[in-house]
């Protein structure tokens, strides 16, 4: 029991020194990495380059500059959709806690497979596809259809009066009633002008049944 107490006391006495030594070692291995990523031919900064270290990372700014905290001996990965992926390693025996880096990247050229455009195998197939192709109406054709006489007549029969037309109709009816107030309105059965308006309305289809 006495031996166990001595071991426990010895452990608690050495623990702070061991933790301090481990902290000093970790602090010495941490490096602040500064760098710039540029094109290898024109030496222009490349924006939005992914700088990854052990699953975490950052991106370069509009001038291609970046900054990230790494450890000595870490492998840094540089990737961009338009450039070839590059790698760089932080020196394990680096003195100090700062490291500057200039990374050059080359454009990654992607070659797509060759596409060959061929005509229809036979003339009969081309004529069949050409005749059966549904070509949608353009803006001019749609405007012509909407302003045709038949379309305007159908809209005139189906659409209700707007506010201006309704107000004018009401005012005319009131004016007519006020004009013949106190007397019997005349019958237009022998009025040629009234018959002319009736014939025009009949030709326009104003008296057709509206569904």
Segment 34-63, tens digit of pLDDT: 999 999 888 999 999 999 998 899 999 999
| 76: three-class secondary structure by DSSP | strand
pLDDT given for residue 60 in this prediction? 95
Instruction: Order across the sheet with 30-39: list the strands.
Output: 65-71, 30-39, 98-105
Q: How confident is the model at residue 18 (pLDDT cuts 50, 70, 90)?
A: very low
Q: Are strands 75-80 and 98-105 parallel, antiparallel or unpaired?
A: unpaired
The reply to whether 65 and 130 lie within a common domain is no
The reply to whether 133 and 184 lie within a common domain is yes
Domain boundary among 105, 131, 164: 105
The reply to whether 61 and 32 lie within a common domain is yes
**Which has the closest alpha carbon to 100: 56, 146, 21, 37?**
37
Burial 153-180 (b: 16+ CB within 10 A, else e): eeeeeeeeeeeeeeeeeeeeeeeeeeee
pLDDT given for residue 78 in this prediction? 96
Is 112 contained in some domain?
no
**If you average pLDDT over residues 11-26, what whole number do you get?**
48
**Which has the closest alpha carbon to 53: 18, 16, 99, 118?**
99
The reply to whether 131 and 200 lie within a common domain is yes
Is 209 contained in some domain?
no
Strand-pairing partners, residue 105, are 39
Q: Which domain holds residue 128?
A: 123-204
Domain boundary among 56, 79, 105: 105
Domain boundary among 75, 105, 135: 105
Domain count for the chain: 2
Cα separations (Å) of 23 from 20, 28, 143? Answer: 5, 8, 79
pLDDT given for residue 1 in this prediction? 58
Does the pLDDT of residue 139 top 90, yes or no? no
The reply to whether 63 and 37 lie within a common domain is yes
Q: How confident is the model at residue 19 (pLDDT cuts 50, 70, 90)?
A: very low
The reply to whether 59 and 127 lie within a common domain is no
The reply to whether 101 and 127 lie within a common domain is no
Q: How confident is the model at residue 23 (pLDDT cuts 50, 70, 90)?
A: very low
Largest CA distance in the chain: 138
Give tens-digit pLDDT for 162-210. Answer: 778 788 888 888 887 777 777 776 677 767 777 888 888 888 777 666 5
- DSSP strand E in 9-144: where? 30-39, 50-53, 56-59, 65-71, 75-80, 83-89, 98-105
């Amino acid at each position: 029991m006495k031996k166990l107490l001595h071991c426990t006391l010895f452990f608690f006495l050495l623990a702070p020194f061991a933790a301090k030594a481990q902290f000093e070692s970790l602090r010495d291995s941490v490096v602040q990495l500064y760098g710039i990523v540029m094109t290898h031919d024109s030496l222009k900064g490349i924006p939005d380059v992914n700088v990854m270290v052990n699953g975490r990372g950052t991106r370069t700014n509009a001038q291609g500059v970046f900054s990230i905290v790494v450890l000595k001996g870490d492998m840094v990965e540089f990737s961009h959709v338009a450039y070839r992926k590059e790698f760089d390693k932080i020196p394990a025996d680096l003195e100090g806690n700062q490291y500057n880096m200039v990374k050059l990247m080359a454009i990654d050229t992607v070659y797509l497979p060759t596409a060959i455009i061929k005509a229809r195998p036979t003339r009969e197939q081309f004529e069949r596809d050409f005749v059966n192709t549904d070509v949608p109406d353009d803006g001019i054709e749609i405007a012509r259809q909407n302003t045709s006489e038949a379309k305007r007549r159908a809209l005139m029969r189906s659409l209700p009066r707007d506010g201006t037309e309704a107000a004018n109709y009401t005012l005319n009816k009131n004016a007519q009633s006020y004009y013949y107030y106190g007397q019997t309105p005349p019958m237009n059965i022998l009025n040629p002008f009234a018959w002319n308006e009736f014939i025009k309305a009949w030709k326009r289809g104003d008296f057709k049944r509206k569904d």
